[in-house]
A and B are shown apart, each in its own frame.
Chain A
Amino acid sequence: MNTFDLNLSDDLFTIEGCNADEGEKLLRPHTTFLKDAWRRLRNNKIAIAAMCLLILIALYTLFGTMICGYDPTKMSKEMNQAPSLKHWFGTDKLGRDLFARVSIGGRVSMLIGVVGALITTLFGSIYGSVSAFIGGKVDAIMMRFVEIISSIPYLIVVIMLSLMMNDSGVKSILLALCIVGWCQTARLVRGQVLQLVNSDYVTAARTLGVSNWKIILRHMIPNTMSVIIVNLTFRIPNYIFSEAFLSYVGLGISSPDTSWGSLASAGKENMFFHPYQLFFPALMIALTMLSFTLFGDGLRDALDPKLRR
């Protein structure tokens, strides 16, 4: 069968297109998870607008008093003035500049929101994941405990703690909100971890002999992180809301300290005569809530494309 003997040798051929070396070459820059999420987030105009608004609010609460140049606690003869060029948000019944006061109050509100959300999310995540990871009886008991804690009316805990700690300030409110608040996160994280523990790739990793620690580091944490971060952004406005509620009822931050809730509460009294005293703190609460919610929505879509709707 030597009819087709064309005398072909290797050097007559050249490789076109991909060759052995270039097959491994990266044509596009390597993207990390975070870069990818940021790219998705950047395309979401609403989320970006909300983020900018949040930054503005944060700047306002930090530097508001410097911008307007008034001392938030200094009283003056100019009482109950409507918003003007001199006093941008008007003044309250003691003649204090509301722009400065809303800024100072915002610090307390934001502090409670951010710190409260951080603490509860951290504790709730640890509790939930431990419960799911161990499973069985321990899980059942731990979850029953969560159920019982979360059915105590939180108002009663808040009031009791503030009385026990002998001050109705930031600390006691934070503690009280945290004691009840971690349950929801614990449930959420437990659900997520349970799902992961039973997922195929974790089983595969187990079968391959990957150690528990490595599974936790490589699979559990990265895969629950997005849920936790999104939960965090939704918790912050929740705490701001709760603090405002407590202060509004008169159980939260009390004078001379102030927060958006207690400013709104003070404004309520004069609402029919000087509606702006209620309007500005209320506006700040609503704006913060709004931007955190919208930003959280965007973040969820960006971090977890599976959830995108």
Chain B
Amino acid sequence: MLKYILKRILYMFFVLLIVTTITFFLMHFIPGDPLTAMVQKLPEQTKINYYAKYGLDKPVYIQYLVFLKGIFTQGTLGESIRFPGRNVMDVLQKYSGFSSEIGLVAVAIGFVIGVILGTLAALKQNKLPDRVLGVIAILGISVPVYILGTVFQYLFTVKWPLFPTLGWGTPAHKVLPILCMSFAPLATYTRYMRSSVLDVINQDYITMAEAKGLSFSQVVRHHVLRNSILPSLTILGPNVADVFTGSFVIESIFSIPGLGSYYITAVNDRDFPMIIGCAMFYTAIYVLSLLVVDILYVIIDPRIRLAQDK
């Protein structure tokens, strides 16, 4: 198990390196660079000096090697070109926390509640709770998160002022963004859980467990849930990535000082070091969540053996 995890972590770094490389070269193929807008009116020699300062006058592959050297020898991602003095690592450390906090909490809430509601819907199949939950689930996947965000903001801050409109700081500020972002995962998990629970309920071992005289809650907790949660777990990894992408808008709607706005400005400015930094962060989150899901798999279902764990 430990060996497998170590191997996966190594592989994770490999993926990270490849994605960084692809991003790096893609970025440099875009016409224009971070300095174009800044140096337009400067004299020729100043321009050349500027390009030399950031190493942008060198061929792309040398820039790439310099960039790699920076990561491996000093652990730095460089400095923002557009905003001199702004270290990319610092920005990541400072602002990724906010993004991760609402993102991960939203997925966690969505997952837990979705699993519970989905199970409930399946156990009450074709009865009133099932119908109501079905409508909620369908709404959850058909209303885009940004529209939900705008509407929630209007309803809960303007019409009924229950929460602060914008900003960050107190727990009350976090309620609405998290609520908006957890809605779509919640709906997805409810749907997945409902269908997989319905599948499991009809299995022989459930009848067997009931015949043994286990109470209803024991059957649900030990047999139904454990067997039906796997499909929901599978989509947990990609879901984390989706929610983080969605967080760009939520962050801008609720003025949360997250990474999203930095990323979008960086791309618009072609601020190379910042783009790479943010892309690495999002990739790392995604790959990490895939790893966590894989480990959870083994914990929940002992039948699944890790491929390399022989």
Contacts and interface: CB of A to CB of B under 8 A. Distances in A.
Contacts of B32: 163
Interface string A285-309: 1110110011000000000000001
B141 A293 contact: yes
A155 interface: yes
B158 interface: yes
Contact of A160 (B26, B158, B248): B26
Contact of A293 (B138, B241, B248): B138
Contacts of B264: 249, 251
Given A148-B19, A152-B22, A249-B249, A163 B150 contact: no
Contacts of B139: 286, 290
A250 to B, nearest CB: 8
Contacts of B141: 289, 293
Interface stretch (B34-42, B82-90, B172-180, B281-289): B281-289
Interface string A145-171: 001101111111101100110100000
The dominant DSSP class at the B interface is helix
Contacts of B210: none
A294 B138 contact: yes
Interface stretch (A28-36, A59-67, A264-272): A264-272
Interface in B227-246: 238, 241, 245-246
B27 A160 contact: yes
Contacts of B263: 155
A235 to B, nearest CB: 13
B186 to A, nearest CB: 15
A290 B199 CA distance: 24
Interface residues of B, number: 42
B30 A290 contact: no
Contacts of B31: 163-164, 166
A254 B29 CA distance: 23
B142 A153 contact: no
B195 A309 contact: yes
Given A147-B15, A272-B158, A293-B138, A153 B144 contact: no
B23 A156 contact: yes
Interface string B272-310: 000100010011001100000000000000000000000
A89 interface: no
Interface string A38-68: 0000000000000000000000000000000
Interface stretch (A80-88, A90-98, A194-202, A240-248): A240-248
Given A151-B15, A163-B31, A272-B154, A248 B249 contact: yes
A178 to B, nearest CB: 16
Contacts of A153: 241, 245, 279, 282-283, 286
A166 B30 CA distance: 10
Contact of A248 (B26, B146, B194, B267): B146
Nearest to A153: B282
B283 A278 contact: no
A246 to B, nearest CB: 10
B23 A285 contact: no
Given A164-B29, A285-B144, 15 more contacts: A151-B283, A151-B287, A154-B245, A155-B245, A156-B23, A156-B26, A157-B26, A160-B267, A184-B238, A245-B144, A245-B146, A248-B144, A264-B146, A264-B147, A275-B154
Interface of A: 147-148, 150-157, 159-160, 163-164, 166, 184, 237, 241, 244-245, 248-249, 251, 264, 268, 271-272, 275, 278, 282, 285-287, 289-290, 293-294, 309
23 contacts: A148-B19, A151-B15, A151-B286, A153-B286, A155-B263, A156-B279, A159-B267, A160-B29, A164-B31, A184-B238, A237-B142, A241-B144, A245-B144, A245-B146, A245-B245, A248-B144, A248-B146, A249-B249, A278-B150, A282-B143, A286-B144, A289-B141, A290-B139
Interface of B: 15, 18-19, 22-23, 26-27, 29-32, 138-139, 141-144, 146-147, 150, 154, 158, 194-195, 198-199, 238, 241, 245-246, 248-249, 252, 263-264, 267, 275, 279, 282-283, 286-287
